[in-house]
Amino acid sequence: MPNRDTVLVTGAGGFIGSHLVEALVLNGFSVRAFVRYNSRQDWGLLSQLDPETRSHVEVISGDLQDGGAVADAMRDVRIAFHLGALIAIPYSYQHPDEVVAVNVMGTLNVLNAARRYGIERLVHTSTSEVYGTARYVPMDEGHPLQGQSPYSASKIAADKIAESYCRSFELPVVTVRPFNTYGPRQSTRAVIPTIITQALSSGRVSLGSLDPRRDFTFVSDTVSGFLKAATADCPPGTTVNLGTGRDVSIREVADLIFSILGREVEIATESHRLRPKDSEVDRLCSSPALAAELLGWQAEVSLEDGLRATIDWVREHLGDYNLIGQYTV
Buried-state track 106-117, b at ≥16 Cβ within 10 A, e below 16: bbbbbbbbbbeb
User: Is 135 a residue whose pLDDT tops 80?
Assistant: yes
**Cα distances (Å, whole numbers) of residue 175 to 58, 147, 230:** 25, 18, 10
Judged against a pLDDT cut of 80, whether residue 196 lies above it is answered with yes
Give the residue from 100, 73, 74 showing the smallest Cα distance to 86.
100
Q: What is the DSSP letter of 145?
A: P
Residue 323, pLDDT score: 73
Examine the pLDDT at 326 and tell me if it is beyond 80. no
Q: How confident is the model at residue 203 (pLDDT cuts 50, 70, 90)?
A: confident
Residue 327 pLDDT? 80
pLDDT at 304 over 50: yes
Question: Which CATH number among 3.40.50.620, 3.90.25.10, 3.30.70.1380, 3.40.640.10 corresponds to the domain 187-214+246-282+302-320?
Answer: 3.90.25.10
Q: Letter for the amino acid at 225?
A: G
pLDDT at residue 88 above 70? yes
- The mean per-residue pLDDT over the stretch 251-279 comes to 95
pLDDT single digits (tens) 89-129? 999 999 999 999 999 999 999 999 999 999 999 999 999 99
Beta-strand runs (E) in the chain: 6-10, 30-36, 57-62, 79-82, 121-125, 173-178, 180-182, 204-207, 213-214, 216-218, 239-242, 248-249, 266-269
Question: How many Å apart are CA 81 and CA 10, to the nearest integer?
Answer: 6
Q: What is the mean pLDDT of residues 316-329?
A: 84
Q: Which residues pair with 105 in a beta bridge?
A: none
Residue 324 has pLDDT above 50, yes or no: yes
pLDDT band at 4 (very low <50, low <70, confident <90, very high): very low
Same fold, 6-181+217-242 and 187-214+246-282+302-320: no
Average pLDDT over residues 131-152: 98
Question: Mean pLDDT across the chain, nearest whole number?
Answer: 95
Positive or negative, the CA dihedral 103, 106, 112, 117 is: negative
> Are the C-beta atoms of 200 and 258 separated by less than 8 Å?
no
Percentage of the chain beyond pLDDT 70 is 99
Q: What is the mean pLDDT of residues 70-89?
A: 97
CA-based nearest residue to 126, from 277, 284, 273, 327:
284
Residue 214 near residue 127 (C-beta atoms within 8 A): no
Torsion of CA 113, 118, 119, 122, to 10 degrees: 60
Q: Using CA atoms, how far apart are residues 290 and 281, in angstroms rounded to an integer?
A: 23
Using an 8 Å Cβ cutoff, are 216 and 271 in contact? no
Domain boundaries in the chain? 6-181+217-242, 187-214+246-282+302-320
Measured over the CA atoms of residue 180, residue 246, residue 269 and residue 278, the dihedral's sign is positive
Please state whether beta strands 248-249 and 213-214 pair in parallel, antiparallel, or not at all (unpaired): antiparallel
pLDDT value of position 2: 37
Run of H or E residues at 168: helix 150-169
pTM over 0.85: yes
What DSSP designation does 44 have? G
Could you tell me which residue, 16 or 323, shows the higher pLDDT?
16
Query: Residue 174: beta bridge partners?
Result: 123
The average pLDDT across 34-45 equals 88
Pick the CATH number of 6-181+217-242 from 3.40.50.720, 2.60.40.2890, 3.30.530.20, 3.40.50.300: 3.40.50.720
Using the predicted structure, report yes or no on whether residue 1 has a pLDDT greater than 70: no
